[in-house]
Structure 1
Amino acid sequence: MLLQRFKLKPISLLTFNVLLAIWLGVFLNAAFYQKMQALTPYTGLKAGLFVAASVGVVTALYLFALQILNWKWTAKPIAIALIFIGGFAAYAVNTLGVWITADQIQNMMQTNIAEARDTWSWRLVIWFIGMVIVPIVVILKVRLKPESGLKQVFKKIMALLVSLMLVGGLLFIFYVDFAAIFRENRDLKGMISPQNMIAASVSYYKKKAPKQNLPLVHYGEDAQLSQALKGAPKLMVLVVGETARAENFALNGYAKDTNPRLSKQDILNFSQVSSCGTATAVSVPCMFSGMPRVDYDERLASHREGLLDIAKRAGYQVTWIDNNSSCKGTCDRIGEYKIPEPIKQKWCKNGECLDEILIDSLKAYLETIPKDDQRPQLVVLHQMGSHGPAYYKRAPAAFRVFKPICDTNAIQGCTQEALINTYDNTLLYTDYVLDSLINTLKNTTQYQTGLWYLSDHGESTGESGMYLHGAPYAIAPSQQTHVPMLMWFSSAWQQQEAKQIKCLAQQSKNKLSQDNLFPTMLSLLDIKTKVINPKDDMLQTCPKP
């Protein structure tokens, strides 16, 4: 009944396009204009004029595009699609400070139901109603005036000329400012909705979308174990962390004690480590690929053998145990341990599991290994870690030590103190999980045991208006790229490899990165292959025996 009473006067197609351009250009992009104001050197009136010019350029460009695309029979479908896409993109940019890039589209394509559900909140519902549903209802109710084809074409030509003149004039007046800002901040376009979502999707499908039936590229085919192996076989546990940032680790000097247990273990902590990417879909395949970040080819990595394949070829039993949204293709050709149902029932709820499932799963897996099995082992544990925005779900009640907490996934509405406390509690829980894994390995006497922990990327928790992760690497804050890394070795391993351990300890404050994982891990596992890059192998700096 309400929709039937709600009637609007007919408007021309030009008026429709102008109003739509204003909606897309002005109302969806407040965060972009705030960023432009922050990047300009001006203050006062001149800063205001520059922001107004930015609004004018974006709106005029949208009007130009709409005059080409929108005709009477296409106007409403295109408008609805743009408002729907733009509404969601603008929510991410304006409320979470997330820039829409091809990497973000990749994250969206690879997420699971549980992760997607964690992003839903009452704020998103309110935004969706106000910024998507209401405008779409208005569009459906609008009636377009009938106009002759000749008149419509004339209006379009005039509007196109006016749009070009407006864009050209404003860019001419502020050319130096626009050129300087976009030269240094090329990814700013990721803040302009809805073009960011459209452009990022096109970029994803052109550059990142997995191609089907590509031939497997073999890599490290010469891999073999060193002939000079001593003592019991090795068992290395590699823990791939999730969304942990180094600056919140007490081991790295953070004020709050987020590492009470690890600080008592005999570990090697590396305080200056950077990630390959700012999202799991990039960092995890990259760190296992053998390609350094600057040369990383995502398409090639998707169908080329990596670290785990090479270790398997050399004679290791390689096993992946997952508590996240998959291994991103890195474990496709190795064994993935199926977590027993009783363990799942103990730690899982609504499709998500606490990371203690990894402790029990590792113990259960080790129990399946026959006592006379002399194969060396590489086990990868993939954490849920500190995955946001529902940080409060990542740590059980006993680890909610830092208070007050943010017990919602609408993290923008929490105080900075509560949000940081909740995030820190997830790190406190990770500290417990890693400590428990180390203690498990201490009791595993069948092997020389070691543990290597490395987070995939960091996280923004409101700094500079940014939340979560996935920012373009060139402009990503240190919170998203500076990640924790630590190692632990059993007494048996330390006795056999004393010089290696001493060398690693000397690099605790060196600038390192996920590039170091591939070559250093292979060397630690006594695997010889020509694909090890000595420049990134931390053990290559060790004195030769």
Structure 2
Amino acid sequence: MTLFQKLTTRFSDLRKVRAVSPTGLILLTIAYLFAASNATFWSIGAQVFTGHPLSFAGFSLAVLFLTLAFFSPFGLRWTLKPFLVFMVLLSAVTSYYMDTLGVIIDRDMIQNVMVTTVTESKHLITAGFISHIVIYGVLPASLIFCIRVKQYSWVRTFATPVLVTAVSVALAAGLLMTDFKSYASILRERKDYMSSFQPGMPVVSAIRYAKMMTRTASTVVEAIEHDATKGPAYGPDRKPLLTIVVAGETARAQNFSLNGYGVETNPRLAALPVVSFNNVSSCGTATAVSLPCMFSNYNRDQYSYEKGVSHQNVLDVLSHAGLHVEWWDNNTGDKGLAARIPSRSLTHSDNAEFCAAGECTDGIFMAQLKEYAATITEDTVLVLHQIGSHGPTYYLRYPETAERFQPACRTAEFKFCTPDEIANAYDNTIAYTDEILAQTIEFLAGQDQLSTALLYVSDHGESLGESGLYLHGSPYFMAPDYQTKVPMILWMSQAFKTQFDIDKPCMAAKAGETLSHDNLFHSLLGMLDIRTQQRDPELDLFASCRNLQKVVSQ
């Protein structure tokens, strides 16, 4: 017998030894996923069940049987290996973000992923991520393809998944019923526990996202501005209006020195007559949710994706009231907000000064604004959607010459940076936003031919490693204040304050009030004296700081 024949025989014998039943392969795969892709799940579980190892074991077995019940219907010869390989690869991806960054893959995160761009997502594809996927995904997936699966009769092939699913559900229910009250309390109080389970949470979230998109596939947008008109502030013989609304990105209120932060991140704004509202909560923790929510007429508790896509927003109301409204974007798009108004994307502008790295810093806005302002002859609202402080590549959000705080983290892999380096890089983005806002305000202040104002508010905050969390997008129920407290800053020219009869000291007195994105829709309408039943005076910050019966035009 030749060497080749001997090797072929040994390989054939090995294939026979390794042959397993479909259910056996499913159990082996689940065991692997439990062991290799659920470090956070086990860590939280150990905390939750401290001193109660039997309860922990019972609950873990129940989760295992529920997973088996979900996997078993895919145990047919045509679907078994593709399904298991997909689950292994999916768990490798999601466990990386869960275990290294604390990112939970819920429905909102799935939505955020689906609307992101290559430019934004490429920074998350690091060497650490790729090595993790290869070790915990590609290698075990290859092993699954190599394993020989036993073949059964048609009856057994179809009957086994049904039987295994039924038995698994029954066993899981029996285990949970042994201490149902305690288990129910844990699931109610520690939602982060099961949210960390891979691949359970991503699969459930994907199903929820698919259902949401299916429900809204044929949605017709409903107008909400039927009665919107300009108020008496728009009298004759006055200057055209230019109000700039800056939609910030990933800026958290805690790192603004205007709000008491110990690092001087806002020296330029501190020298200007601005009002900084220091207790503002966001509508969500990710752009895909917060941005459409903050411009809608729904508060955070009422808002849903379905409502957002089926109703017009405050920009539509302003437009129909007779103002010219535009959206300028240096981020990942307007999320549907500018579907009915003019818009322009500046993200990939051909500008050597601001776009040298292939992405533009927010300095790109000023170059465009200087040309645009000279052409304004009608009342205008301009929305600038910043790239702001979007991570993890904070160092790309500002020019190298603007790196004030050093040493700064200059990689997307935080494990190679100290907490101070991460904080320095992030603070540099806030300082650069300070510079951009100050430049914009100073430019507006010099436009004597216009009545000008600026309102800045970020869409959500950011975690910088506190409690093991990085970036943003945590489910709101467990999101720390770092992800939900956002800066909001107001500046008004004298001409604007006079035209709209706004008392700045009154506005400054509101700086410490408890506010949220819920106020934005109504406050923009109040600020710009747009008359409509859609405006709720209780949520309009300007309602108590102006006398609408006494308007001085100029």
State the TM-score, normalized to the length of structure 2: 0.90
Query: 1:536 is matched by which residue type in structure 2?
Result: L
**Which of 1, 16, 19 pairs up with 1:10?**
19
In structure 2, C-alpha distance between the alignment counterparts of 1:312 and 1:67, rounded to whole Å: 54
User: Is 1:391 aligned to residue 394 of structure 2?
Assistant: yes
1:275 shift after superposition: 0.5
Which residue of 2 is the match for residue 317 of structure 1? Answer: 324
Say which is worse superposed, 76-85 or 205-214, in terms of deviation. Answer: 205-214
**In structure 2, how many angstroms separate the alpha carbons of the residues matched to 1:521 and 1:175?**
50
Residue 399 (structure 1) shift = 2.2
Residue 292 (1) aligns with residue 295 (2): no
Output the amino acid matched with 1:397.
E
SS of 2:538 mapped into structure 1: coil
What is the letter of the counterpart of residue 219 of structure 1?
Answer: I
**Does the 8 Å CA contact 1:33/1:55 hold for their aligned counterparts?**
no
Structure 1 residue 417 displacement after superposition: 1.6
Indicate how the Cα distance of structure 1 residues 347 and 488 shifts in structure 2: closer, same or farther if over 3 A, else same. same
After TM superposition, give the deviation of residue 213 of structure 1 in Å: 4.9
Q: Structure 1 pair 390/54, CA: closer, same or farther in 2 (3 Å)?
A: farther
Equivalent of 2:545 in 525, 538, 542: 542
Paired position in structure 1 for 2:418: 415
Q: Distance in 1 between matches of 2:255 and 2:25?
A: 50
Change in Cα spacing, 1:341 to 1:64, as seen in structure 2 (3 Å) is closer
Aligned to 2:29: 20
Query: What is the CA deviation profile of residues 406-430 of structure 1, one whole-angstrom value per residue up to 9, with x for unaligned ones?
Result: 2111124422221111111111111
Determine the structure 1 residue equivalent to 2:231: 226
71-80 or 340-349, which deviates more: 340-349
Deviation of 1:159 (Å)? 5.3
| Aligned: 1:278 with 2:285 | yes
Once residues 152 and 349 of structure 2 are traced to their aligned partners in structure 1, the CA distance between those partners, rounded to angstroms, is: 69
Deviates more, 1:132-141 or 1:468-477: 468-477
Distance 1:543 1:521, change over 3 A: closer
Q: Residue 103 of structure 1 aligns with which residue?
A: 108
Secondary structure in structure 1 of the residue aligned to 2:503: helix
Tell me the distance in 2 between the aligned counterparts of 1:34 and 1:425. Answer: 34
> Which of 56, 81, 85 in structure 1 is aligned with 2:61?
56
Q: Distance in 2 between matches of 1:165 and 1:218?
A: 50
Aligned pairs, how many? 536
User: Does 1:144 find its partner at 2:153?
Assistant: no
What's the counterpart of residue 270 of structure 2? 263
Contact between 1:321 and 1:336, CA under 8 Å: does it hold in 2? Answer: yes
Q: Secondary structure at the match of 1:261?
A: helix
The CA distance in 1 between the partners of 2:161 and 2:231, in whole Å, is 73
SS of equivalent to 2:267: coil
The answer on whether the counterparts of 1:224 and 1:315 sit within 8 Å (CA) in structure 2 is yes
- The answer to whether the 8 A contact 1:30-1:94 is kept is yes
Amino acid paired to 1:527: I
CA 1:149–1:303 in 2, change beyond 3 Å: closer, same or farther? closer
- Taking the aligned partners of 1:469 and 1:80, their CA distance within structure 2 comes to 29
Moved more, 262-271 or 220-229: 220-229
Q: Which amino acid aligns with 2:351?
A: K
Relative to 1, partners in 2 of residues 1:206 and 1:163: Cα closer, same or farther, differing over 3 Å?
closer
Superposed CA offset, 1:440-464 (max 9, x none) = 1111111111110000001111112
1:158-197 equivalence runs, <5 A: 163-164=168-169, 166-186=171-191, 188-197=193-202
Q: Which amino acid aligns with 1:255?
A: G
Q: 1:399 to 1:207 in 2, by over 3 A?
A: same
- Aligned-pair identity in percent equals 36
RMSD of aligned Cα (Å): 2.6
Residue number in structure 2 paired with 1:354: 361
Q: Give 2:44's match in structure 1, choosing from 35, 39, 44.
A: 35
Q: 1:192 to 1:63 in 2, by over 3 A?
A: same
**Structure 1 residues 339 and 66, CA gap change in structure 2 (3 angstroms):** closer
1:532 aligned partner: 535
Name the CA distance, whole Å, in 2 between partners of 1:78 and 1:124: 22
Contact 1:210 1:302 in 2 (8 A): no
What whole-Å deviation, never above 9, does each CA across 1:146-188 have from its counterpart, x for those lacking one?
4456776787677557645653454244433321121124464
Deviations 1:468-513 (A, max 9, x none): 1111112211111100001011122234455432321111000001
5+ long unaligned stretches in structure 1? none
Q: Find the aligned partners of 2:56 and 2:348 in 1 and give their Cα distance.
A: 57
Tell which deviates more after alignment, 532-541 or 112-121. Answer: 532-541
1:95–1:50 CA distance, 2 compared to 1 (3 A): farther
